[in-house]
Amino acid sequence: MKLTHALFPLALLALASCSPPNASTNAGAQSAAGTTTAAADFSCDSPAAPLAIGATATGDIQAGQSYPNNARYFCINVPANTPSLTLEVSGMTADLDLYVGSGNIASVQGVNLEQGDTYQWKSNEFGTGAERVQITNPAAGIYYAEIVSYQGEASSFTIAAQ
């Protein structure tokens, strides 16, 4: 069957209104943290936004806020037998740092291990270059990422989970 020019816009409109199966969103967390490019089918501790492996999200950190208000949170569901998990934060205009933990959001809240912080992995290089954490053979479960502005400066960013 050949679509005529008159029916072609209607066919496109019908396709555009379709939703993928099992797509879910966490609108409250996503509006605070940014917009994900792929829907995740799991939930996170508040205020983290779910981020699926293979997806990216964007976010903003406002200037002049103290910790933890200058932090944004994401969670990633890692299935069994995943060979590695890589989280990368890029596209920032201020010095942002990346902290990663597993199990619950408390695993990343805090930026100083000497004061009882509990993150397990970090990338806190000086400057605006990409921050990257790679975990080889991660245990199955939920992993949390905290993105925080080192000096409380404003910046947008992109986080990718691979």
The CA–CA distances, whole Å, from 22 to 19, 29, 35, 42, 80 equal 9, 18, 18, 10, 20
Report which residue type is found at 145. A
Contact yes or no for 53/75 (Cβ under 8 A): no
One digit per residue, the tens of pLDDT, for the chain of length 162 reads 333 333 333 333 333 333 222 323 333 333 344 444 445 578 899 999 999 999 999 999 999 887 888 899 999 999 999 999 999 999 999 999 999 999 999 888 865 545 656 789 999 999 999 999 999 999 999 999 999 988 889 999 999 999
φ and ψ of 69, to 5 deg? -70, -15
Q: What's this model's pTM, rounded to 2 decimal places?
A: 0.74
Q: Which domains does the chain carry?
A: 26-161 (2.60.120.380)
Q: How far apart are CA 144 and CA 26, in angstroms?
A: 15
Structure tokens at 138: 């991660």
